[in-house]
Amino acid sequence: MMGKRAKKKDGVAAVGDKPFVYVQLRTFCHATEDLTMVETALANAAGFDLDDDEELKRFRRSLTATRSSGHFNNPIEILEVEMRRSREMRRFWDRLFAEDTVARRLLREADERLDGDLVFWFRVDKQEAAMGDVELSRGEDVVHVRAKVATYPKDREVALRFLEGFLGEAVGEETSPATA
Domains of the chain: 9-171 (3.30.1440.10)
**Is 124 in a helix, a strand, or coil?**
strand
Residue 29 · residue 38 · CB < 8 Å: yes
Contacts 24+ apart (CB under 8 A), 55-62: 58/88, 62/88
Q: Specify the pTM.
A: 0.85
Question: Mind listing the pLDDT tens digit for each residue in 50-80?
Answer: 999 999 999 999 999 999 999 899 999 999 9
Q: In the structure, what pLDDT confidence band is assigned to residue 18 with cuts at 50, 70 and 90?
A: low
Question: Mind listing the pLDDT tens digit for each residue in 19-37?
Answer: 899 999 999 999 999 999 9
φ, ψ dihedrals at 139, nearest 5°: -80, -165
